[in-house]
Chains A and B, each alone.
Chain A
Amino acid sequence: MSPLISTSLDPCARRPARLGARFFTWICGLGLTSAGCYQGAPPPPSPAAETTDSTSTGPESEAEADSGGSSTGTPEVDDAAPFELPTDQVQLLPFPARMANLAAVAHVRTDHPMFEKAYELRILLGQHDYSQIAGPDSAWTADRVQNWVRAISPVCASLEVHTAYPDLVQDPRALMRTAFGREPTDAEVEALGQLTAAAADEQEAFRWSCLAVLSSLEFVAF
């Protein structure tokens, strides 16, 4: 066991454990800062006047070919704005984050049976599975909308959600407040009002309201 990490519960021994943990954390932070989160992956080049691409001939380096080594020709990084969030496309929250948020909205644990369909469809919903070389997929596509609504339908039909938001149809603010983490705007509330006005009955109105809130970008994306 590493001398830097001690699991002893002895108060005197815990001081070395805290120091060891603190040192370990510092080392990790230093490592992450220097290596970056994407080893071997330079950031995309910033827009430039250059429009021609050079075509290399022959192998760049055999060592680079299949290893995890970094590529050559790292573009310059603007120190004033080194990190840019993608703005051209909606990005879904990671699947575990969406599940955690669903559980928080429904006031249940993430392993509640109401989420069975969601876990069944998890890969279609963007969850990764590296054992099958399936990477995380953050695209909000029509296919994903379809499967997300299928996944959350049992959530919206659950006793727990009906109990937590008994006045959802009359006033959706409670659900929206919990789901969005902020006070909903009048326009958002009115959008739901127009939806529920077309419903055949209270049950349908409740289901539609719940589906609309939990399928909105404010809930599923960032």
Chain B
Amino acid sequence: MKRRTTSILAPPRRRSFLKTVAGLLCVPAVPLIARYRILDELTGTAHAEDLLAQEPTYFVELNLRDQFDFMHAFVPPGIATYDGLRRGDRGNRCVLFHDASALTQHRGNVFLTPDSQALVPHLDQIAVMELNEVCNGEIHGHEAAGPVRSPGRQKTQTAGKAAMWTSEPGYQFQGNDHHYSSTPTPASLHNRLQKELTPGVRNGVAMKFISRNHHVCHFGAGDARAELDRIQTRDTLFQRFPDTVQDLNALGSAEEAALLTRAIRRVDDDFFDRYGLSQAARTHHEATLDEAVGRLYSADNNKVVSLPLTPEEVEYWSTGVPDQVGSAIKAQIWEALAWTEKLLTHGLTRSVAIDWDYLDVHDTRGPEVLSTMAQQFAIPLARLIQRLKDAGIYEQTVIAVFSADGGRAPAANSYGNTGKNSLVLCGKNVRGGYYGDVGVAGPDGDGHRYDYHVPDPQTGVLRPPVTNNDRLEGAYAWRTVMKALGTPDSTLEAYPDVAGFHALDFMLTS
């Protein structure tokens, strides 16, 4: 039997040695397979897996409103191969404006259009599943919460569920709704877990760059450590991460930070009873002060990276990407992804959420709408993936793209409370492919009726088609995202609305 190298060391030295090795192997430049082999040589397979599970992961959550349609990015096989498709920009006609000869077919039932060819080099780790539970917002499905991002969210408050919108600045009901939940949204949960894994890692951010007064809720499920820092403008992003050596430390030492927060905690002690605030508010505040200790002083506070893009970076990221439609532009999507790449590859944070939108389009959706959406999504995403690969951290990264408030049916006049609700999953542990299907059920006026082939959550085999809104519960997709990140099942089972569900393992490699 092969003797593991570390077995010759005494236990205390072995532990110290392994910690040192694990730290060195966390350097992004070391490929994952090399890390596994080195650890396997030193420790044996089981221990190698345990150590790798303690590796940091990076997560990008891209939330696309309003009822984003990926038809020109990933064409459902049933639509791509249908002979006699009635295409058009209104009524029940299908909004696929490239004919079959322009589509390219790839392994895993993936059909791309000319608008999404940039994704070809990365398809082996891009999984698409659009048959998720549809949204239930009052205005034809629009909502800021979503059943996939927070399974079990509901419109009434029951025991254990909290309001999801209270941490979203300037939140209004119109187009967003009020939902309550006990399930954290993915980036929020990842944020908390990474800070537990690596104390001192900087808090994640949510770039709230939707051009209208619409929102996406980022929900920590009552855990203050999970809450992302909301960034509402590009200027505040640059302030949050300055490009000069500014002293972001509010205090002079970690000891001073601890003393001050301890004093504030004592002064604040009576506040909650005096003003009738709940125990949850007290707990949340105490967690906030705990975290503030590391913010008031930290050596990492002065880590500098230049977030504003150079002309070369603008050229790289923006070429071929249509501008955001609308009048109140906060940032282009390629800018948001460029800043995300810098934040992740420079170790400034590990969890980034981006809220972005294509305007809400009704009644008629022409080729320019679908092509613009696809190009805005596919081209910057491909560039982000490439940059993460170049930096050596793609194998530790998961990118999850959500049609945040529902998607559309293939019909031009469809809304987001019917049809598709999409998840595009990229990166670590992801098995590329298009899962589920959308097809043509028959003629309907000048267009078609469409049907939906929901995959069996156990096997991925397509169920008999339906024309109603029966879809996979959002908990399946949620657990798939978290499993791709390597989150232990024991952590996820703590949330009642996802307990008992499992990941869609056919979308994952492990």
Contact = CB atoms under 8 A, between A and B. Distances in A.
12 contacts: A42-B173, A44-B178, A53-B154, A88-B163, A88-B280, A89-B167, A140-B285, A142-B295, A191-B267, A216-B264, A218-B268, A222-B275
B303 to A, nearest CB: 15
B5 interface: no
A76 to B, nearest CB: 12
A132 B415 contact: no
A212 B263 contact: yes
B281 A145 contact: no
B192 to A, nearest CB: 12
A215 interface: yes
Nearest to A48: B156
Most buried by A among B168, B239, B250, B295: B250
B140 A60 contact: yes
A23 to B, nearest CB: 31
B121 interface: no
A141 B227 contact: yes
Contact of A58 (B140, B171, B251, B266): B140
Interface of B: 134, 136, 138-141, 154-158, 162-163, 166-174, 178, 203, 210-213, 224, 227, 229-230, 232-233, 235-236, 239-240, 248, 250-251, 256, 259-260, 262-264, 266-271, 275-278, 280-281, 284-285, 288-289, 291-292, 294-296, 328, 330, 360, 362-363, 415, 417-418, 469
Interface in A195-222: 195, 198, 208, 211-213, 215-218, 221-222
Contact of B171 (A135, A187, A194): A135
Give the top 9 A-B pairs by smallest Cβ distance, nearest first.
A135-B170, A137-B169, A191-B266, A142-B291, A146-B295, A134-B232, A195-B263, A41-B173, A149-B250
A132 B232 contact: yes
A87 B141 CA distance: 29
Contact of B138 (A71, A139, A141, A145): A71
Interface residues of A, number: 79
B277 A87 contact: yes
Contacts of A198: 259
A45 B239 contact: no
Interface in A100-150: 120-121, 123-124, 126, 128-129, 132-143, 145-147, 149-150
Contacts, number: 224
Contacts of B169: 126, 128, 134-139
Interface string A33-67: 00000101110111110111111111111101110
B464 to A, nearest CB: 20
Contact of A44 (B163, B232, B250): B163
A149 B414 CA distance: 50
Interface SS of A by simple majority: loop
B266 A65 contact: no
Contacts of A150: 248, 250
Nearest to B277: A87
Given A65-B139, A142-B203, A57 B418 contact: yes
A194 to B, nearest CB: 7
Nearest to A148: B250
Contacts of B280: 88-89
Contacts of A85: 276
A65 B140 contact: yes
A168 interface: no
A160 interface: no
Nearest to B142: A65
A60 B170 CA distance: 25
A102 B136 CA distance: 45
A71 to B, nearest CB: 5
A64 B138 CA distance: 10
B330 A194 contact: no
A52 B156 CA distance: 9
A124 B363 CA distance: 39
Given A123-B236, A208-B263, A217-B271, A57 B288 contact: no
Contacts of B154: 51-53
A206 to B, nearest CB: 13
A68 B278 CA distance: 34
A167 interface: no
A63 to B, nearest CB: 10
B469 A55 contact: yes
Contacts of A143: 203, 229, 240, 295
Contacts of A19: none
Given A87-B277, A124-B240, A71 B174 contact: yes
Given A87-B277, A89-B284, A188-B267, A133 B211 contact: yes
B267 A216 contact: yes
Given A66-B362, A124-B239, A215-B264, 9 more contacts: A40-B174, A51-B156, A55-B134, A73-B138, A133-B328, A141-B224, A143-B203, A188-B266, A212-B260
Contacts of B229: 141, 143
Nearest to B211: A133
B212 to A, nearest CB: 8
Contacts of A191: 263, 266-267, 269
